[in-house]
Chain A
Amino acid sequence: MNPIDQYVLEVVVLPALIALSAFSPFLFAPLRRRAWRVEAVLGTIIALTFLLSFVTELDHRAVLRQIITIEGDEAPFERWHRLGLVALILIPASWALGFTRRKSSAARGMMSTLGYALVAAILCGALVSFPGSSPLIQLGQGALVLASIFAWLLTNQAVLWNAWVVFGVLAELAYVGGFASLAVMCGAVSVAGFGAAVLAGIGGRSALQIDPVRPAGATAIVLGTLTALIARCGMAQDTAGVSPAAWTAAALLPLASVAFSGRLRRAERNSGKTFWAWLGVAIVAIALLGLVGWQQSAKEGAADSGGDDYSDMYGG
């Protein structure tokens, strides 16, 4: 196997496979009949995939040195490594959030989700900073986390298909922005989203009275927190002039899931509802990537040379 394929397998595919293998039983009956478990599992799959990809790409010390002093560890703390710690925290948080919401009515459950979203936004604004931050930027970061969580709540039953798209967009922006590590981590989560969507679809058909997966509680909070912080990190570390607006748009892409809300309401089958909740996000994602690509081409003034992506990154 050539080194690039091996790299992609280790950093992108394997983390997603491990997370999906560990938790996919919850996407099938009988475990799937408890909604709170499903929301916790979806959040865990996303956060765990990111974490596994992170420690494969760097190493576990990149997370540990943020918590403890490691003897003989000379490397300094890099602020973007905070993403790994956030992913680690989101795993138990998913289960805690799901558990506390398990007996809530729909209205009460939504209120508690918004409450937890506010807490997540405040913590991310206060404790997670990237280079070039200022109090105003941190305030904006917190607001982006809150807005992103809200956007994910609108994705309805296409939440996992939209995770596939949104993290794919973040991966592409990171790659264009010169941040290969972030690109592969987002790629891993995109693969996990796709895999979870397929498994959830199969699981939904495997037994009667299985509800489609929805972005309730923990799922939306994990997705919203990660997409917003990844977008902020990409913005702060960008070296190729990808605009902050593009990154912000990527974090808020799930808002486009309401684009076809009329058709969604009229759809009779779950697959139709999923399609209409996904299509708006897919269209806006393609438009966003097209715009970024056009801006990069205009700046570079040269056509894409093609060939292997990693050798192209280093001068072709």
Chain B
Amino acid sequence: MKIPAFIALSVATLLLAASPARQDGAAPASASAANITLDPVHSMAVFRIQHLGAGYFWGRFNELAGKIQWPLDDSAAPSFDVTAQVNKVDTGSEKLDGNLQGPNFFNQAEFPTITFKSKSAKKLGERHYAVTGDLTLRGVTKSIEVDCTVTGVGKAPTGQKVGVECAFTVNRADYGMKWGIDAPKGALGSEVKMVIALEGDVAKAKE
């Protein structure tokens, strides 16, 4: 028996709509997105900046906090709501940490947190996304694109854990952090490379 063309076309359209390849737009698309609470001990952000036009030095923000939502079957993109505390900056030098928290850089007294909240994502491959979101730093909010990869789903005695690694580069002058770029000229670079390593606990489903 011949299947009417319009029925075949409708079924094909429904199958395409359910395909995991379509991940555009705000995530999660799937109702089965897991709520993942960040583990502050195993979540951190590292940054790199050039010093005096010579070497690069790295620093980090410890104890990131926040949430990720992501379906464990990778049927939709992850969404992020992550906060870093400026007073958790760690460069290995207490004096340098203090300077970075001061008004010439992050100005911890006025802006104690740095946040990232995702708005949308584009799938680049398996567990690999370009996530667009708002980065708020020093009171300035700008939309940025972050390259994110879900690095793994593991098991712990307390339940499942999910790891995500993200990378992006910002121009700190865009956020009002200009000391050392033009004055004194070249003391510190303007481009800051960020690598964010996140690990979180998957919330157990309510019975």
Give A contacts to B, CB under 8 Å: 3-4, 6-7, 10-11, 56-57, 74-76, 78-80, 130-132, 177-182, 236-237, 239-240, 300, 310-311, 313-315
Contact = CB atoms under 8 A, between A and B. Distances in A.
Nearest to A181: B104
Given A75-B140, A313-B95, A314-B51, 15 more contacts: A3-B186, A4-B184, A74-B140, A75-B139, A76-B138, A132-B109, A178-B98, A178-B104, A179-B104, A180-B99, A181-B104, A239-B97, A240-B98, A300-B94, A310-B184
Which of B93, B95, B99 has the most chain A CB atoms closer than 10 A to its own CB? Answer: B95
A75 B142 CA distance: 11
A315 B103 contact: no
B204 interface: no
Interface of B: 51-52, 57, 91, 93-99, 101-104, 107-110, 138-140, 176, 179, 183-188
B185 A311 contact: no
B184 A7 contact: yes
A179 B94 CA distance: 15
B109 A236 contact: yes
Contacts, number: 88
Contacts of A74: 140, 176
A74 B176 CA distance: 9
A314 B53 CA distance: 13
Nearest to A239: B98
Label chain A's interface by main secondary structure. Answer: helix
B139 A3 contact: no
A178 B91 CA distance: 15
Contacts of A3: 184-187
A228 to B, nearest CB: 18
30 contacts: A3-B184, A3-B185, A4-B184, A4-B187, A7-B183, A10-B183, A57-B183, A74-B176, A75-B139, A75-B176, A76-B176, A78-B110, A130-B109, A131-B109, A178-B95, A180-B99, A180-B102, A182-B103, A236-B109, A239-B97, A239-B101, A240-B95, A300-B94, A300-B95, A310-B184, A310-B187, A314-B57, A314-B99, A314-B188, A315-B96
B103 A179 contact: yes
Nearest to A5: B184
Contacts of B179: 180-181
A78 B176 CA distance: 11
Contacts of B97: 239
A149 to B, nearest CB: 26
A7 B187 CA distance: 10
A80 B104 CA distance: 11
A178 B51 CA distance: 17
